[in-house]
Amino acid sequence: MSDLTSNLKVSVEWEDPCAAKGEELRATWCRLSIQIGQIPVTRIHDERLQTVREAVYCSAYPLAEWFAFNWWSLLNEIERPWSAAERHNLRYAREGFALPNLEFFSEDSLIRAVWKPYVPASAPVRFLEEGFALLDRTAFSREIHAFLEKVIVRLESQGVPHTSLFDEWTAIRDIPEVEKEFCETVGALGLDPYDLEDKKADEVFSVVKNLPDEMRREFFLAADSNALTQQSRWVSKCLRQLGDYEIKTKLAGKKGLYRTQASSSTPWQRGYELARKFRKEFGLGSPSKPLSTDKLCGLKKGNLPVIRVGEEHQLDAVTRLSTELGPQVATSKERKSSKSYLLARAICEYLCSDSADSALLTRISSDRQKQNRAFAAELLAPAEGIRKLLSGSRIDRDEVTEVAAHLDVSEWLIEHQLQNHRIAVVEGTMSLPASD
């Protein structure tokens, strides 16, 4: 289950290397345990001894080296379809040793950890634990930092001071702030900033130069490294067309209204909180009745401040945050329900904006996207209204279809609300941990 208070703890107890070969491996032979919250992720069943223990015996050097060489991706790359497991799963650090099937992916201010039972081919052991947790990014970084320092000190004390681990970690630890931003940008793309072709580096710098400041982080978190120029051109095209689109809505002048209003601890909880506040303060009526987004904007029925630009992209939409006109959206989507959902997300960006003139709407799990998606879901299909419309806590898919049709939203949005608010279980689907 997910636990937002979970912390990562990597512990080593140095041991006699016995017959281990290689000076780095011998110097860092240890009893290694990894714990997340109260769960010992390294709990194993030893098939030879027929015992269960909460640690493995191995060299700490391959794991430390793996953390260092994947540092920028571990802390900055949000999972996407093309993300490589080699950068995120400890199994790829084993180098012949037994390490758990433990995966780390950035979720902006959080790190998502997922671990599963696993039988490594290299040792007669079986990892037993399975779970999921969201870890504070700063605490995660601090723990890995401490582990790396401990391994490097051990190497030095054992007469093995000059290693590739030492060189890599020194470069990371002593990096100037201006270079750090570039490394975080490249790491978000799933690339190694220390092994980047000049052509790709030039492309990254060119895209950075052409994007508005407020869009850069969200763009690189979502973009495909193989299509950077194409996607940045699409963003620029959207901004140009939105600049010529001057349809004023009733939300004009409300920019930044909720900039400091949310108090909830997670991005999605803040989104839900702001949507309920917005519905109440703007008198949007019963939560079990459909919300007319065109009426909300003060436009004729069927009209929305949304224009269609180009082909389908991983980037869902670009939104212009005009103080004088209100939020406006450019997207490749065609369905009415998709446009209403994106407009609702744009409204969240507009209400929470300070000085930004534009924003990017994507499918990734950054804090900003989690918040605007949660806001949109709760604005268009309030959890309270869905509860009133359901027959019980276990429903079939036909009922999902009926509720979606009643609220004039997609079935996906209803399922999202059912799961994340734990309103009901749809027969034939698995119950998953609630999150954005």
Indicate whether 386 belongs to any domain: yes
CA-CA distance, 28 to 150, in Å (whole number)?
Answer: 10
Q: What is the pLDDT of residues 138-173, one digit of tens each?
A: 999 999 999 999 999 999 999 998 899 999 999 999
The tokens describing 210, both together, are 């052409």
The tokens describing 193, both together, are 């900033």
End-to-end CA distance of the chain: 14
**What is the structure's pLDDT at 104?**
97
The tokens describing 7, both together, are 């912390």
Output phi, psi for 273, to 5 deg.
Answer: -60, -45
Is 387 in the same domain as 371? no
Domain count, the chain: 4
The tokens describing 247, both together, are 């349809």
Q: Comparing C-alpha atoms, which of 53, 13, 9 is closest to residue 35?
A: 9
End-of-domain residue from the set 157, 173, 189: 173
**What is the structure's pLDDT at 111?**
96
CB 299 within 8 A of CB 344: no
Amino acid identity for residue 15 in this structure? E
Is 262 in the same domain as 167? no
For residue 83, give the 3-state DSSP assignment. Answer: coil
Indicate whether 12 belongs to any domain: yes
Indicate whether 56 belongs to any domain: yes
For residue 103, give the 3-state DSSP assignment. Answer: strand
The tokens describing 322, both together, are 């005009």
| Domain membership of residue 210 as a residue range | 177-230
Q: What is the pLDDT of residues 200-256, one digit of tens each?
A: 999 999 999 999 999 999 999 999 999 999 999 999 999 999 999 988 999 999 999
Is 15 in the same domain as 164? yes
CA-CA distance, 245 to 328, in Å (whole number)?
Answer: 8
End-of-domain residue from the set 376, 392, 426: 376
Indicate whether 1 belongs to any domain: no
Is 58 in the same domain as 167? yes
Is 224 in the same domain as 269? no
Sign of CA dihedral 84, 89, 94, 97: negative
Name the one residue in this structure whose structure tokens are 């950068």: 87
Is 282 in the same domain as 410? no
Length reported for the chain: 436
Name the one residue in this structure whose structure tokens are 């920028």: 72
Indicate whether 2 belongs to any domain: no
* pTM assigned to the model: 0.90
The residues facing 133 across adjacent strands are 113
**What is the structure's pLDDT at 94?**
86
- Does residue 211 come out as left (phi exceeding 0), alpha (psi in the -120 to 50 range) or beta? beta
Is 273 in the same domain as 299? yes
Is 145 in the same domain as 192? no
Is 410 in the same domain as 302? no
The tokens describing 389, both together, are 């419309």
| CA–CA distances in Å: residue 247 to residues 183, 323, 327 | 40, 12, 10
Indicate whether 370 belongs to any domain: yes
Is 262 in the same domain as 345? yes
Is 162 in the same domain as 48? yes
Indicate whether 3 belongs to any domain: no
Is 400 in the same domain as 350? no
Which stretches of the chain drop beneath a pLDDT of 50? 1-3, 432-434
The tokens describing 170, both together, are 């020194």
Q: In sequence order, which ranges of 223-353 are alpha helices (DSSP H)?
A: 228-243, 267-281, 293-296, 336-352
CB 338 within 8 A of CB 410: yes
End-of-domain residue from the set 173, 207, 240: 173
For residue 230, give the 3-state DSSP assignment. Answer: helix
Count H helices and E strands in the chain, helices first: 16, 16
Indicate whether 371 belongs to any domain: yes
355: which residues sit within 8 A by CB, 6+ positions away?
none
